[in-house]
Amino acid sequence: MSKAKTRRRCLPLGDVLFRLHEEYTKVVKRKVDINDQVSIRGLTLAINNIGMVYFELKDVNQANYFFKKALLIDERINNQKGIAREMGNIGKVKLELNEFDSALYFLETSAAIDREIGNEFGEIESIVDIALVYYKKGDYQLAEKILIDLQKVKSLECVVAGIWIDQL
pLDDT in tens, 96-140: 999 999 999 999 999 999 999 999 889 988 999 999 999 999 999
User: Which of 93, 97, 14 is CA-nearest to residue 6?
Assistant: 14
Which residue numbers in the chain have pLDDT < 50? 1-11, 31, 161-162, 164-168
What's residue 112's pLDDT? 97
Which pLDDT score is estimated for 149? 83
Amino acid letter for position 157:
E
First-to-last C-alpha distance (Å) of the chain: 14
Contact by Cβ (8 Å): 95, 103: yes
What pLDDT shows up at residue 45?
Answer: 85
Q: CB within 8 A of 150, min separation 6: which ones?
A: 124, 127, 128, 131, 159
